[in-house]
Amino acid sequence: MAPVKLYIYDLSRGMARALSMGFTGRQIDGIWHTSVVVYGKEWYFGLGILNDIPGGTLLGPPLEIIEMGETEVPEDTILEYINEIRPDFTPDKYHLLDNNCNTFSNKFCEFLTGRNIPDYIINFPADFLSTPMGRQFRPMLESMFGPSRHP
């Protein structure tokens, strides 16, 4: 058995929390980036699926670490799984709202533990798009990344 941890980072480094009420009309606590730590490696989706030593990415130490449980999946099977899903997580398939680091972390945690990452992270794109500012940004985001599946 190996512990599985979700590393949570705020890409805004506190600015979302400080400024969101004035811009969005409601509190947004962070712009979330997540990764999954298992067997001494931090796995994340950036320019493809990458791994690093835990806390050793460009983002530095995580804001929060959530214990997702333990996995019985052996490390060699994890590597096979990563290679199997790698085509779904390439730079050209990145979508800020629909196929991002959090999408990867959720899929990986489900594989390892059967658990989803927290709803506030999974639902962040839809929550942001429901704000007046999100509705204004949607055309720009979709012109950059393509149409979003979020209503």
Which sequence positions are flagged as catalytic?
Answer: 33, 101
CA distance 77 to 60: 28
Neighbours of 41 (CB within 10 A): 17
DSSP assignment of 37-78: EETTEEEEEESEEEEESTT-STT-S-SEEEEEEEE---HHHH
Indicate the residue type of 135: R
Neighbours of 29 (CB within 10 A): 14
